[in-house]
Chain A
Amino acid sequence: MTRGILAIASGGGHWIQLRRLHPAFEGLDVAYVTVHASYAEQVGACRFYTVRDVTRWDRWGIVVLVAQLIRILIIERPRLVVTTGAAPGGIALALAKIFFRSKTLWIDSIANCEQMSSSGTQARRFADVWLTQWPDIVTPNGPHYWGAVL
């Protein structure tokens, strides 16, 4: 079986920004991961998982989240992992890079117009491609700019 794509985003704006990338995913083997079961209605026949929603304030939540993500990664063994943030996406990127050698793409939320987000900064060393949506934030060593969701 060929290894597919895992697309992961937290709720609200992170999820909507991932949905705005939909045409780029069309026709490819994609599994979605997010934090609200009700979002399943938006992904059609694609495989869909939910994980616990955490912030970095929630230490116990992060332990639960890591266990959930490892389970999903064992099932999916993704070739590529793409995230629009935030904390769950960053942790998924790190686990996929360390344990599954997945190729990883971080897209920082367009909300972060003056500096990279805190989870984006932490995800940097696990991201093969590390993107901002703001040209002003670009530096030669990253983040890079490939366009914006708006």
Chain B
Amino acid sequence: MIFVTVGSMMAFDRLIVSMDKWADEHSGQDVLAQIGGGNYLPTKMRWTRMLAPNLFREAVREASVIVAHAGMGSFFVAMEMQKPIVMLPRIAANREHTTDHQLHTLRWLRSKPNVYAATSEGELGSAIDRAAKDDYASLGAFDKFASKELLVNIRQFLTQQDNVASIPMPGTIGQERR
């Protein structure tokens, strides 16, 4: 199954239109799309507006490839589930986002294993082909929590004004990390 997602906030019809066309050309493929508030309703793939977090994870778990906007939420869920992800950045000039930061994000993320960049919708097909060949099972586990450095600093900020001086962080961090 291919799982397509525009994320949780704004519509991204350029991705959905392109993937509906892709689904039409690959009729043997099961494709499910989270289309958000988009106006275009797919006819060649299954779709939903928005999945709750547990159902979203379920869809990612069942998918062999994720096709998404270049958003951090999609990235984190794909990495936690060790799935290859194709990312198409939103462009501010198309009113797909308020700024072009997804272009910056993708310039950084595309160097990571399991991430396949499509700089335009025309590159989606070839990126999916490359992602489908990904040997993702061989990748190591992905940390569930932030870096220890950030956790310790924030814990200190949250507890420094308490009368109880500093409440140490329960001993979970370190254990749940690689």
Contacts and interface: CB of A to CB of B under 8 A. Distances in A.
Interface of A: 5, 10-17, 20-28, 36, 38-39, 41-42, 53, 55-57, 79-80, 82, 103, 105, 109-114, 117-118, 129, 133, 146-150
A41 B54 CA distance: 9
Contacts of A20: 76, 144-146
A24 B169 CA distance: 6
B-side interface mostly? helix
Nearest to A25: B158
Given A13-B73, A20-B145, A111-B101, A82 B154 contact: yes
A39 B50 CA distance: 12
B73 A15 contact: yes
Nearest to A112: B101
A23 B159 CA distance: 13
Contacts of A28: 158-159, 167
B104 A114 contact: yes
A24 B155 CA distance: 5
A111 B102 contact: yes
B170 A27 contact: yes
B86 to A, nearest CB: 17
B71 interface: yes
B77 A146 contact: no
A11 B73 contact: yes
A10 B167 CA distance: 28
Given A23-B170, A26-B170, A113-B108, A149 B8 contact: no
Contact of B154 (A14, A16, A24, A150): A24
A26 B158 contact: no
B125 to A, nearest CB: 25
B159 A112 contact: no
Given A13-B72, A56-B98, A113-B107, 19 more contacts: A11-B7, A11-B9, A12-B7, A23-B170, A23-B172, A24-B150, A53-B9, A57-B98, A82-B158, A105-B154, A111-B72, A113-B105, A114-B104, A118-B99, A147-B146, A147-B150, A147-B152, A148-B147, A148-B149
Contact of A38 (B53, B71, B148): B53
B154 A26 contact: no
A82 B155 CA distance: 11
B145 A23 contact: yes
B75 A13 contact: yes
Contacts of A117: 99, 101
A56 B99 CA distance: 11
A41 B58 CA distance: 15
Contacts of B8: 11-12, 36
